[in-house]
Each structure stands twice: as C-alpha cells, then as structure tokens.
A and B are shown apart, each in its own frame.
Chain A
Amino acid sequence: MRNRRIRILFTIIVFVFALLGLILPLSDNVNDISIFGFFPNINLGLDIQGGVLLEYSLDVPEEADTSNVVDNVITVLRRRMDNAGYTEAIVSEVVSGGESRVRVEIPGISDTQRAEELIGSKGKLYFAEVLEVVESTTTPQITRNRTIQINGEKIEMYSYVKDSNNPNLWYRVKNVFEFGDAPFQITGLDVTDAVASLNSQGAGFVVNLNFNNEGRMKFELATANLINQRIAIILDDEVIIAPVVRERISQGRAEISGIESMAEAQNIAVLIKSGNLPVDLVKFQERTLGPTLGRDIVTTIINAGIIGLIIVMIYMIIVYRWMGIIADIALIYNSLLLMGVLSWTGAILTLPGIAGIILTFGTTVDGNIIIYERIKEELRIGRPPLTAVKFGFNKVFSTIFDANITTILAGLVLFFLTSGTIRGFAVTLIIGVLGAMFTNLVVSRLLLESSSHFLKPEKYVKGIVVGKGGTK
C-alpha cells in the first residue's frame, strides 16, 4: 500500500512538472506551425521553422590561441547581428574533432545574402583623431576629402563615424595620423592585449592596452601631439569609445578610463582584442530553409505521425481491451512528459527529433506490451488479477531496464559524436526512453493496480485449456 501511495505521488508530481513546462511563459517564442502552436515553450530548430544556418571554419594563425580567437569572433559576430537587427540570431561555437568552428543560426529569414555579407567582412579596428562631435539624425556628409595610400591601401582622410551606443552622435575623425616622417595608422595589429580591470586610482573601471614595438612608437607619437584631445577607437565603422588623452604615453601601455561598469569594460577589451585577430572565415556549410517550405514539410510529417499513432492506439485497445486503454493513457502521459522536458530544458527540436519522438511512442507501447504479455501469463496460471499485475511488473523490470538502457547508450554515443539535427534526434530519444521507463514502471503500474478488477482472468485460464488440447 505504501508503494502505491509513493507511485501516486510521483505520477502527480511529474505530471504537474510537465504541465507547468507547457503552460508557464518560459520563452517568447511564437510557434505557429501545426500542433506546436500549443507548445510555445519548445524551441524549434531551423529545419522546422525555416531560417538559415551558416557554419564557418576559422583560418587561425598557428601561433594564436584558438579558444581566444573563437571567443572574439563570436563576440564580434554577435554584435554585428544585433546591429543589423537579427537579434534572434544564435552565434555559437561548434567543436568537432579538436577543431572549433563558429555557427550562426538566424531563424525566419531565407535571404542569406545580407547575413553572409555581415559575417564575411573582416572586423577592422583602428584609432583615429577626433576633430569634432556632432548630433544629427542623418549621416553628415564630408564636403572636401582626400585619400591617402598606406601600405598599398587607399584610406579616406576624414570621415564621420557614429557612436556605438548613440546612433545620433557622430564623430568627425581624421583616420590617419600625420605626425613624424610619414602618415600612419594605428590598428588592431599594433595592440597585443586588452584587459579590463578596476580603476586603482579613481572611480569606475579601466581597460589596459598593450602595444607591440611598432605600436608603441606610433602611439607615443600620436599621444604626444594630441594631449587634451580625444582619440576614437573604431570597430566596424562605429566608435567603441573616445577617451581624452591626458599625457604622452611612451611605455607601450595605455589605459582607457572612465568606464562605468565592469561588463562594459570587458566588452570593450574583447572588442579591441578581436580587432587584433582578423581571421578569415571559411564557409563550412550552409543550410537555408524557406519558412513556408519548412511548415509544409513539418505539417506533413506530423500528420503522418498522428495517423500512425491513432492506428496504433486503436490496435492496442482491440488486442488488449482494458489494458490497451491504459497503454494509450501511458502514451499520452509520456508525450506530455516529453514535451514538458523539452520546454524546460530549452532543447532544440529538429526534424529528426520529431522522428525520435515518434520512436519514443514505439518504446512506450513496447514496454506496455511486454508487461501485458507477462500479466496474461500470470493470469493463465490462475493468479487473481491484482497479484498477477504485481508479479508481472516485478518480473519485467529487468527486461525493460536492459532493453531501454541499450537504446539510451546508443543515444548517448550519438549525442556526443554528432552535432546539429542528429543531435536533436539523440536528445528526444534519450528523454523519451527515460520517460517511457518511468511511465511504464510507475504510471502504468499505478493505473493497472488500481483497476485490476476490470481484468477478466477467466478468459485467459480458458485460453490455456484450448491451447493444450487443441492445435498442437
């Protein structure tokens, strides 16, 4: 009796847990595809909702620290995506066989050209002299300009660059320094390191910059001539920060002060460093799916799955009568549980993932069939229904355990060795099989024990008599 009470408790707790995952507003997804409209918390993969997935290999120089480069590239791409209005984009690292790649996923668009342009352009970081700061809602125009050649690259002498935080704030800057013998630029290549830290002399936070030898000389020359003026640090044609030069800086170290939060300081440091590592991105793979096509495909697959499921449910009732109804309840219970776990964990549901769900139904039904066949055997040798149910469950435990653990092991191997959509399959398979074990061993048992009086043992006892004297 105590066992049964524990089972009731678990069944209800798990059910409420699953239901909360489905009902609580956990995310602001809007799923409008087929039945997923009812499950807004489930993250749909790009192969379901449509969108573009771009994956790039990084052409990292041999001496560079790869993990650093990857972090920096991710930060820069994230910022570019946000600035371009793709705020829903996911920029992430993919590790495969010791090689790191960067993946950008943008849901809902199928025109990839703009995204590719944004990603493909190298981030350029440079320092520039600030001539004036203006406020304007439109881009100010430079009236007279001249171009200058540095290292074979043509550079416009003056330009207006907008502030990265305030789109109406424009800096008129001189892009090239003209002190000393020849005009020069200070770029990310001259910076060896940028570190955020607490300001030891005053309030706020600072970013410490370290320059290489060439950078040290150029920076000294520039600061010597620009005391009490501002130098803008520009990345991707936006001013990250424009500090005032206090003194001539000759040690190859500079400090940007007056930053209000540590997070901002860290962000600036990463951006400056990332400008320092202009790696080439090489497209590894692209998968683009138009939203309409995705919807059509998914609707078709789900319809097929639901039709198959209904047929199986009817089949179970025909073959197992009352126990078949319980199997169907278990099936629905496990589906809700799976949806709930997907909602809670934020795991991404892909097309193969849906296939995994449908297979989970198979596992759940299979578990029930194993149990019912056992219960029928117990009924045949004349045990009363409740005892038959209890004996049946105790005997099938090891069968269900071994059979399902092998499936889970296969799923785990798949999860760790693959990425992307196949991984989505492994996720739903593992969650689903674990759910099936719980549903079969706890929920089905509870339902059957509570309703064992619906079982008709006479039918099975008679069955064995016919079997013995009849066919064989």
Chain B
Amino acid sequence: MPNIDFVGKRNFFIYLSLALILFFVIVIFVKGFNFGVDFSGGSEIIVSFDKSYTIDELRNGLRTINPDYATAKIIQTNPGGGTSERFFYIITVRDSFPILEEKQAFINSLEESFSDSNLNIEQFNDVSGYAAREIRSYAWYAVIIALMVLLAYITIRFQFSYAVGAILALAHDVLITLGFYSLFGIEMNLTAIAAFLTLAGYSLNDTIVIYDRIRENRSKNHGMDIERVTNKSINEVIVRSLNTSLTTFIVVFIMLLLGGRSIASFAFGLTVGVIIGTYSSLYIASPIVISMVKRRKKTQKA
C-alpha cells in the first residue's frame, strides 16, 4: 500500500487550484465560449459536394446570397472517417429560418451558387433565438438543482462539512473544465452540458468513495486525529481511484480521438474532467473537510 502524504501539503495544492481557477476565469472572460447553435440560435447546415471547395470559395458563394453570411462559420469535416467519396462542410449562420419559404429560398440559392457539384443537405439544425434562450436557462436550472439535491444527499449520508467539500471540489472541476473549453475553443452545445453533468457524477463518485473510507476509518480509530485518518483513507483507496480513472480515461480519450465531431465536445469534457476530477478528489475534497472539521473543533473549545 502506498504511503503518500496527501494532506500535509494541502495548502500548496489549494493555492495551486486557486491559481488555476483564477487563470481560467480570466481566459473565459477574455476568450469567451464557442457557442453552438443550441445556445446562440441560428442554423447549422452540413452540406456535401462531389468536389472539394476551399473555405474562401464557400464564403464567397455565401456572400453573394446575403452579405451577412460573409461572417458564417465554415468547417470542413469528415463524418465517416474518410470512407466517403464526398466532401462535407459545416456552415453555421446566425439566421434561423422559421418560415418555410425563407428556408427554401436559402437552400435554392446555395444550390445555384454551387450548381456544378451536386450539393446535398445532410443535416439542417435550425434553433430559433427563443429556443436557444430557453435551452440556456434550463441548462442553468439543471445544474443548480442538481447541486442542491447532491448537497442534501451528502449531508444526510455524511456531514454538512463533507457536502461542502464535495461541492467545492465539484465547482473546482467544472470551472477548470469550462476554462479548457474556452482555451481550446471547443463548441459549447447540449452534449457539452451532458458532459458536465456526467463529470459532476464522476467527480462526486470519486470523492464519495474516499469519504466513505474516511467515515469507516474514523469510527474504527477513535481518537486518531483527522489528518492521519484522512491520509490513511486516501492511501487505502488510491489504487482504486487511479485504476478507475485510467479505465474511464482510456474510453473517453479514444472516443475523443476516433469518435468524430458530433461526440467531440462530450468526449473532450470528460477527458479533461476525469483528470481534474481525480486530482480534486485526492487533493481538494478531503483536505477541505479537514480544515472545516478543525475549525469547528476550535470554535467548540472556545
């Protein structure tokens, strides 16, 4: 069994995490997020052609349809892992097309602009601005309500200070992962939200396994001080933590590498999240509990 001093250096790691969070908050403010149509509204169209175009050719074509489309986001993509004969592009415009005639006119002019290459509309996602607002607000509700439910559950099964530790570790994981989304410009969409909720579940799972061991060891070793109990507990479960993290990491990382674009923002969140979540379970969640338990003891004595 390893014998690593996790709690002794806890101040160092808490400051390290605070520095990381500060850094990523600045990144988020400066760079912002790359919102997909789920959040910003608009239309995301995947088209395929017989022949390849450069992004500039496509942009010029779009500009002739409507000068506003000169700012469209265009990405070349390859959904089938290179087996297809056709060339795929994702075009994202700020407009949504609530009326059928408008949409048809848009598609017709696309076909005119690229008439010699057998254009095919593979995917058409149109989210009205209103829908985007709603999706955004419900994503927040989901996160906040989930956090409250979890706070209540951990308080009942453990103690309030454990719940605070778990939630702080969770906030830590989510903030840093959000920072990575911003830093690398990964698209924020509904699947990214799914990734964050999974990450929340994963991070808590990891934290609770350690808490459970602390709870058990505290009742077994009365009188042993909390720091030693915590350190002993983390060391007892670290093999499990690393094994689980490694196996989860393998699956999500391979999905990120091979899964293609539509799952990328999900897989990215989890790949980053697994690493951050494992780190925070070992170095953040439990050390916070120690500080809180110690402070409470002090106030009780005084």
Identify the A interface with B (CB < 8 A). 55, 57, 96-97, 110, 112-113, 116-117, 120, 282-290, 292-293, 296-297, 299-301, 303-305, 307-309, 311-312, 315-316, 319, 351-352, 355-356, 358-359, 361-363, 365-366, 369-370, 373, 377, 395, 398-399, 402-407, 409-411, 413-414, 417-418, 420-422, 425, 429, 464, 467, 472
Contact in complex: A358, B255 (CB < 8 Å): yes
Assess whether B302 is interfacial by the CB under 8 Å rule. no
A425 and B191 CA atoms in complex are apart in Å by 9
Question: Would A290 and B254 be within 8 Å (CB), given that A410-B146, A413-B149 are in contact?
Answer: no
Assess whether B113 is interfacial by the CB under 8 Å rule. no
Q: Which chain B residues (1-26) contact chain A, with CB distance < 8 Å?
A: 1, 3
Residues on A with C-beta less than 8 A from B202 are 359, 362, 407
Contact in complex: B100, A407 (CB < 8 Å): no
Contact in complex: A312, B251 (CB < 8 Å): yes
A297 and B262 CA atoms in complex are apart in Å by 7
Assess whether B154 is interfacial by the CB under 8 Å rule. yes
Residues on B with C-beta less than 8 A from A358 are 251-252, 255
For residue B127, which residue of chain A has the nearest CB? Answer: A285
A222 and B63 CA atoms in complex are apart in Å by 59
Contact in complex: B191, A117 (CB < 8 Å): no
Contact in complex: A301, B121 (CB < 8 Å): no
Residues on A with C-beta less than 8 A from B97 are 283
A173 and B224 CA atoms in complex are apart in Å by 95
Assess whether B208 is interfacial by the CB under 8 Å rule. yes
Question: Would A284 and B131 be within 8 Å (CB), given that A351-B262, A409-B153 are in contact?
Answer: yes
Contact in complex: A414, B197 (CB < 8 Å): yes
Q: How far is the CB of A42 from chain B (nearest CB, A)?
A: 19
Contact in complex: A307, B254 (CB < 8 Å): yes
Contact of A369 among B200, B236, B244 (CB under 8 A): B244
Q: A304-B258, A359-B198, A365-B247 given. 10 additional CB < 8 A pairs?
A: A117-B100, A282-B98, A285-B131, A297-B80, A355-B255, A365-B244, A406-B150, A410-B204, A417-B141, A422-B193
Contact in complex: B247, A315 (CB < 8 Å): yes
A404 and B204 CA atoms in complex are apart in Å by 9
Question: Would A429 and B198 be within 8 Å (CB), given that A292-B122, A293-B46, A315-B247 are in contact?
Answer: yes
Contact in complex: B138, A467 (CB < 8 Å): no
A237 and B140 CA atoms in complex are apart in Å by 46
Contact in complex: A407, B205 (CB < 8 Å): yes
For residue A361, which residue of chain B has the nearest CB? Answer: B251
A399 and B125 CA atoms in complex are apart in Å by 43
A317 and B236 CA atoms in complex are apart in Å by 22
A301 and B266 CA atoms in complex are apart in Å by 12
Residues on A with C-beta less than 8 A from B154 are 406
Contact of B3 among A307, A402, A472 (CB under 8 A): A472
For residue B43, which residue of chain A has the nearest CB? Answer: A286
Assess whether B120 is interfacial by the CB under 8 Å rule. yes
**Number of cross-chain contacts by CB at 8 Å:** 221
Assess whether B194 is interfacial by the CB under 8 Å rule. yes
Assess whether B75 is interfacial by the CB under 8 Å rule. no
Contact of A418 among B142, B157, B258 (CB under 8 A): B142
Question: Would A288 and B247 be within 8 Å (CB), given that A113-B100, A402-B157 are in contact?
Answer: no
Question: Would A289 and B205 be within 8 Å (CB), given that A299-B80, A315-B250 are in contact?
Answer: no
Contact in complex: A293, B79 (CB < 8 Å): yes
Question: Would A370 and B240 be within 8 Å (CB), given that A288-B121, A300-B80 are in contact?
Answer: yes
Question: Would A301 and B259 be within 8 Å (CB), given that A289-B123, A370-B209 are in contact?
Answer: yes
Task: Select the residue from B146, B200, B240 with max chain A CB neighbours within 10 A.
Answer: B240
A31 and B258 CA atoms in complex are apart in Å by 23
A70 and B217 CA atoms in complex are apart in Å by 58
For residue A402, which residue of chain B has the nearest CB? Answer: B208
Residues on B with C-beta less than 8 A from A305 are 251, 254-255, 259
Prevailing SS type, chain A contact patch: helix
Contact in complex: A355, B191 (CB < 8 Å): yes
Enumerate 15 A-B pairs (CB-CB under 8 Å) in ascending A order.
A55-B131, A96-B134, A116-B100, A284-B128, A286-B124, A286-B125, A290-B120, A292-B122, A299-B80, A308-B254, A355-B194, A398-B212, A406-B204, A411-B197, A420-B190
Residues on A with C-beta less than 8 A from B208 are 399, 402-403, 406
The 3 closest A-B pairs by CB, nearest first: A296-B80, A308-B251, A304-B258
Contact in complex: B146, A418 (CB < 8 Å): no
Residues on B with C-beta less than 8 A from A303 are 81, 258
- Scoring B residues 131 to 156 as 1 if CB is less than 8 Å from chain A, else 0, what string do you get? 10010001001100110011001100
A287 and B135 CA atoms in complex are apart in Å by 15
Contact in complex: B124, A288 (CB < 8 Å): yes
Residues on A with C-beta less than 8 A from B1 are 464, 467
Residues on B with C-beta less than 8 A from A282 are 98
Contact of A422 among B99, B190, B247 (CB under 8 A): B190
Contact in complex: B130, A414 (CB < 8 Å): no
Residues on A with C-beta less than 8 A from B80 are 296-297, 299-300
A373 and B1 CA atoms in complex are apart in Å by 11
Contact of B259 among A55, A112, A300 (CB under 8 A): A300
Residues on A with C-beta less than 8 A from B262 are 297, 301, 351
Residues on B with C-beta less than 8 A from A290 are 120-123
Residues on B with C-beta less than 8 A from A404 are 205
Q: How far is the CB of A230 from chain B (nearest CB, A)?
A: 36
Contact in complex: B255, A304 (CB < 8 Å): yes
Contact in complex: B205, A403 (CB < 8 Å): yes
